[in-house]
Amino acid sequence: MQLRGRLREDKGGVGTLIAAVFIIMIIMTGYSLSLLTSNKNQEYYNTLREMSDLDYARSRENISIKDVRITTNLKLNVTAENDGPEWAIIKWIGLFDKTQYPERDTYTSVSYSLSPGELVKGMGSSVSVSWGKNYVVQLVTDKGNAIVQTFYPANSVKCKLELLALPSSVYIGNNITVLLIITHNQTQPDYIQNVTAKLTVNPPGSVKLLQGPQQISILGLKSGSSAFFKWIYNATQTGTIYFNASYVQAPQGTYTISQVVSKVSQTPGGGSQVTITGPSTITSGSLTSYTITALSQDGSGVPYTQITVVASNLNVNIQGVGGDLWVPKGAITLPPPPGVIGEAGATGQLAIQISLTAASGTTFTLYANCGTAYSSMTVTVR
């Protein structure tokens, strides 16, 4: 009986121990699950915070493309500006060729860092391009923002043209200023690869070009912007002059060509004009320069044969030194008085130099005659 009692007591102790172990396991399992859940929640919230921070940084990033061009060695040239308050890093440049099918898309790895407000030029120097293709250019930042601009050739755009010739009526020998404005007034593409102005004159020999545009071609003309071109012509014939403007590769249609008319008439007063430009005082024994501007024509508009510049009253040495009307063979002396004959059948300028030895206060007169017109200037020796 005593043996049986001891076994029951031992069994009761073992049961208590097992129950305690189970309770401890349950508590540890619950703690582990709680700890795991807490860690997962923390990772989740950390991920949310990182995503939120990245979204915030991405939202503050503001990159804009200011210019897109093709270089002479057929490379891409992109100018971009960081308009946002955060640093930005351009990691990829995408180039999508819309001309071919299927479309050819390429991404080139780059690294351009832009501080707030910084403008960076020359992006894409490792990206090869070709003229005449429809491109989409994309800049991708390290935060995932993508800036996209379209970049098409001129034949894809119907630009607005404005042409003006001033004055609309001139005398022969006067100048005509021609202004051409080409405006990219379409919403697409964002940039035109190359805009090259064209201007034709009819009849061709009715004017003489004095000055052309400093740049006849504009690279990367942005939507909403305009290119300005200026020509200065001298009218050499009477009649009506027609100016026609367009641009290279312009689409066919009346919207690409403007026409203005300038009417040229004979000069009043016998059809001749002449002016003398230079100082009214000279130094005795020194060379002094003067310019004679002459326009000469008869009733039918044909120039006279010569222009003569003379000085009277004193033995004044006059020699031609340049200008449209200068005879390179040398000046012709007309004794008395001395003088210079300009080139026959021409309209333009004659540069001369004058020297004499005389007392201070001595005066003499320069005469320039062109056909039936003349001009004079009184010069004093100081």
Using 50, 70 and 90 to split pLDDT, how confident is the model at 156?
confident
Instruction: Please give the share of the chain, as a percent, with pLDDT higher than 90.
Output: 26
**pLDDT for residue 306:** 47
Regarding predicted confidence, which is higher, 163 or 38? 163
Q: In whole angstroms, give the CA distance from residue 208 to residue 179.
A: 16
Regarding predicted confidence, which is higher, 165 or 31? 165
Model pTM score: 0.57
For the stretch 310-357, pLDDT in tens is 555 566 677 767 666 555 444 443 333 344 455 444 456 777 788 878
For the stretch 228-285, pLDDT in tens is 999 999 888 878 889 989 898 888 765 567 667 777 766 554 455 677 888 988 888 8
DSSP per-residue letters across 120-148? EEEETTT-B--TT--EEEEEEETTS-EEE
Comparing C-alpha atoms, which of 141, 145, 140, 133 is closest to residue 189? 133
Q: Does this chain's domain 63-152 share its CATH topology with 272-381?
A: yes
Q: What is the CATH number of domain 272-381?
A: 2.60.40.2410
Q: Is the pLDDT assigned to residue 300 strictly greater than 50? A: no
Domain 156-265 sits in which CATH superfamily? Immunoglobulins (2.60.40.10)
Q: Say if residue 47 is exposed, middle or buried (CB neighbours under 10 Å; 0-12, 13-18, 19+).
A: exposed
Q: What is the CATH number of domain 63-152?
A: 2.60.40.10
Domain locations along the chain: 63-152, 156-265, 272-381
